[in-house]
Each structure stands twice: as C-alpha cells, then as structure tokens.
C-alpha cells in the first residue's frame, strides 16, 4: 500500500520557491507531484525541493525531477541518495543529502 503523499508549497524568507513532500511518490500520484512542482517553478525561477521525508521514489517521480533538473535544488535523505546518484540526477540538479533531523 502506498503511503499518502502530502505536498506543501511556499517561499523562503529570501523569496525562493519551496516544495516539500512527505510520503511516497509513485505512478499513482506522480501527476499531482508534477503539477505542484510546475506551480512552484512558475515564472521560470529556481525551486528548493525537499524530499527528505519521502520514503519511496519511482521512475515517474524521477522523470518529473529530470524534466526540471536545471532549475532544482533538491534535498534528499540518505535513504534515496543512491537512486539520485545511479540515475545521474545528481549531475543535473543541485542535490544535498540531509541526515535525519537535519532538514530545514
């Protein structure tokens, strides 16, 4: 059973768009994730995508991140670090691995 996905969009004190996700991102909810990411990126700006509380990412989630990689700063937990490394996403987007409890 998929853990429900919860997405929050906001801005940092210096105006940077931020998207935080909690749960799992897979084929069932990747369209919602993609739409919310497009909303956060509106206007051509960069966005910080906090995935430190995401337990699972599948290829649909990766495809969404790859589509916008040049405009993303991604925070990821050590749990998903290898996935971003093996896929090569860490070569296209700024990726920061954040240990548990170290997010924002």
Cα separation, 83 vs 36, in Å, equals 22
Instruction: Give the model's pLDDT for residue 104.
Output: 47
The pLDDT of residue 78 is above 60: yes
> Mean pLDDT, to the nearest integer, of 37-48?
88
**DSSP conformation class of 93:** S
Question: How many other CB atoms are found less than 10 A from the CB of residue 9?
Answer: 15
The pLDDT of residue 103 is above 50: no
> Mean pLDDT, to the nearest integer, of 3-20?
91
What number of H helices and E strands is found in the chain? 3, 5
The pLDDT of residue 101 is above 70: no
The predicted-structure confidence for 29-38, as pLDDT tens digits, reads as follows 999 999 999 9
E strand or H helix at 40, and its extent?
Answer: helix 30-41
Cα separation, 23 vs 1, in Å, equals 11
The predicted-structure confidence for 45-58, as pLDDT tens digits, reads as follows 899 999 999 999 99
Arithmetic mean of pLDDT over the chain: 91
């Amino acid at each position: 059973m998929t853990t429900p996905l919860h997405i929050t969009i906001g801005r940092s004190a210096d105006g940077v768009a931020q998207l935080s996700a909690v749960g799992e991102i897979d084929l069932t909810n990747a369209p919602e994730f993609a739409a919310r990411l497009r909303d956060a990126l509106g206007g051509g700006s960069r966005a910080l995508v906090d995935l430190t509380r995401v337990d699972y990412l599948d290829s649909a989630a990766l495809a969404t991140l790859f589509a916008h990689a040049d405009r993303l700063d991604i925070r990821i937990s050590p749990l998903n670090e290898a996935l971003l490394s093996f896929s090569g996403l860490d070569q296209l987007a700024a990726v920061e691995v954040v240990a548990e409890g170290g997010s924002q």
